[in-house]
Chains A and B, each alone.
Chain A
Amino acid sequence: MTNPILSFINRFNIAPKSSTEDLILKFTLILLVLDGSTGWGLDVFMRIICVLMLAFNQYTANKFLWLLIAVLLLFFNSLQFYNIDNHKILFVYWVLLLTVYMWTNKDLQYIKSNSKLLIGLVMLFAVFQKIINEFATPGFLHGCFLFDGRFMLITHFIIDTPYQELINNRNSTAILNLVPLNNSSVTLTSSSYMGVMLYAFQIFGLIFEGLVALLFLFSKKESTIKDIALIIFCIGTYFIFPVIGFSSILLILGIAQTKATFRKYYIFTFILLQFIIVPWQELIFYFQNSL
């Protein structure tokens, strides 16, 4: 006797229309397993559903399971809407797009044109927010590199400030956060060289991000310049700002919209960027101080 739940799910099995579609669906499932979670509630479902869809080919393009993933992502991410990172919201748009694609029997062009536009819009809003939030004036990256734990070691390597002074920077900002005094401030330790260098990097990053946005919004679908620009952006940005989920979703969107001959470069970059998780700052610091 067939399991009634399984036979219900089986009714929604469809075969991917092409190897491209199969590839896009599988990469998305991999992304959801690796980084789709925004808490244990969603994580449990994602691990079970997505892993089974990857393990058994007949379920990879199952319409019901994709709808279920979309509903679960929508539900759990809505609960934590102001806590989750923007790339988790981008996951939801992407999964919704794939779900609509499967339920409405659209052609692959639907995915290609929408994923190209999604990249363009994300980049456009990121650039626009930076401009209106005074990113073009000096200080943003310098501030990050002085009191954000993710970048403090890079500061230590570049300007050779004793690590203890950087820890003091961070501790003094933490104490200032407790003190109920308006206009109180602490002076942080750094060098003007660091400020100038990071400001140059900040402006270059802003211009390049704007360029990627314009290329994805206005260039032709077949253009490889936009693809090269996105790959350079991902490699140049995410090895310093290690947000693996954002780089992965951008590259999957890249795979979805590019022509078949360029896809391998996106896949190679996807593999390369998995090395983001290597704690290279800590490793360098450890070897510097243990020798």
Chain B
Amino acid sequence: MGLFKITEKYLICIVLIIIALIQLYHSQFDRLTPWKGGGFGMFSTNKRANITAVGYTSSGDSLIINVIGSKFDVPISRNFLTSTKNFPKKEKLEKLGTLIVNSYLHPQKLEIPSNIDRTSADLIKKDEKFYSTAFVPKYYQSDVIARSEKAIKIDKVKIILYETNFFEDGLLYKKRYVDEIYITKKVNKLK
């Protein structure tokens, strides 16, 4: 059978192979998760992208931000956040940062688990105030309601990309630094 005949007969299978090879390239040499993108790498790894954010207020305080997506009262759509976690490209992380920096942030109590590693526990103890609260991006109908719920705004956000994984040795769920970007709120000069 000639090359043309084979291509004609197995065109769809060839498309599958090409897309799977592209996915393999992106998952091995870029940041795409093996679970998605047509490479059939589902249930192959526990490695996941973990997006953590730290906000900075105008008074210089820093705070932990809980990056969540929702259909309802959170200005980050679940689809966008999932797609960003699955393939955390720089443009998507920048867009995520812009959404956070323009949003109100609602404080929620953060309880550090007792099974966290000793080094991290010591670091957390030194800065208890910072680690006692996580701020959730939230929609508010008016500034008055936002202020009544102690929601705040920030000037700058640092989006930090980690990779989490599970290790059988010691039954550890651990995170490793990958990259970070800063997004600063754009000032409207017309105001």
CA distance A177 to B173 in the complex (A): 10
- Decide: A82 near B112, CB < 8 A? Known: A133-B44, A185-B173, A190-B171: no
Cβ contact of A180, chosen from B9, B46, B64, B166, cutoff 8 A:
B64
Task: Tell me the minimal C-beta distance from B6 to chain A in angstroms.
Answer: 11
Q: Collect the chain A residues with CB atoms within 8 Å of residue B174's CB.
A: 183-185
Residues 59-86 of A at the B interface (beta carbon under 8 Å): 80-86
Contact B131 A179 (CB under 8 A): yes
Contact A140 B40 (CB under 8 A): no
A20-28, A113-121, A270-278: which lies at the B interface?
A113-121
A2-10, A48-56, A167-175: which lies at the B interface?
A167-175
A123-131, A220-228, A282-290: which lies at the B interface?
A123-131
A110 within 8 A of B: yes
Task: Tell me the minimal C-beta distance from A144 to chain B in angstroms.
Answer: 7
Q: Collect the chain B residues with CB atoms within 8 Å of residue A132's CB.
A: 28
A182 within 8 A of B: yes
Contact B46 A121 (CB under 8 A): no
Q: Collect the chain A residues with CB atoms within 8 Å of residue B64's CB.
A: 178-180
Contact B12 A183 (CB under 8 A): no
Cβ contact of B79, chosen from A83, A96, A179, cutoff 8 A:
A83
Q: Collect the chain A residues with CB atoms within 8 Å of residue B42's CB.
A: 85-86, 126, 243
Q: Collect the chain B residues with CB atoms within 8 Å of residue A241's CB.
A: 43
Contact B166 A181 (CB under 8 A): no
Q: Collect the chain B residues with CB atoms within 8 Å of residue A93's CB.
A: 12-13, 15-16
B177 within 8 A of A: yes
A147 within 8 A of B: yes
CB closest chain-B residue, reference A175: B113
Contact B46 A83 (CB under 8 A): no
- Decide: A135 near B45, CB < 8 A? Known: A171-B113, A178-B64: yes
Residues 71-112 of A at the B interface (beta carbon under 8 Å): 80-86, 89, 93, 96-97, 100, 110
CB closest chain-B residue, reference A191: B171
A188 within 8 A of B: yes
CA distance A172 to B41 in the complex (A): 27
- Decide: A188 near B115, CB < 8 A? Known: A140-B45, A177-B52: yes
Contact B66 A117 (CB under 8 A): no
A146 within 8 A of B: yes
Task: Tell me the minimal C-beta distance from B27 to chain A in angstroms.
Answer: 8
A242 within 8 A of B: no
- Decide: A187 near B50, CB < 8 A? Known: A121-B17, A175-B113: no
CB closest chain-A residue, reference B51: A177
Contact A140 B46 (CB under 8 A): yes
Q: Collect the chain A residues with CB atoms within 8 Å of residue B20's CB.
A: 121, 125
CB closest chain-A residue, reference B121: A184
Contact B82 A133 (CB under 8 A): no
Contact A175 B110 (CB under 8 A): yes
Task: Tell me the minimal C-beta distance from B189 to chain A in angstroms.
Answer: 32
Cβ contact of B167, chosen from A126, A133, A139, A172, cutoff 8 A:
A139
Residues 4-50 of B at the A interface (beta carbon under 8 Å): 9-13, 15-17, 19-20, 24, 27-28, 32, 34-47, 50
B164 within 8 A of A: yes
What are 18 residue pairs bridging A and B, where the CB atoms are less than 8 Å apart in the complex?
A: A86-B41, A118-B13, A125-B39, A126-B41, A129-B24, A132-B28, A138-B168, A139-B168, A144-B46, A176-B175, A177-B164, A182-B176, A182-B177, A184-B117, A185-B174, A186-B113, A186-B173, A188-B171
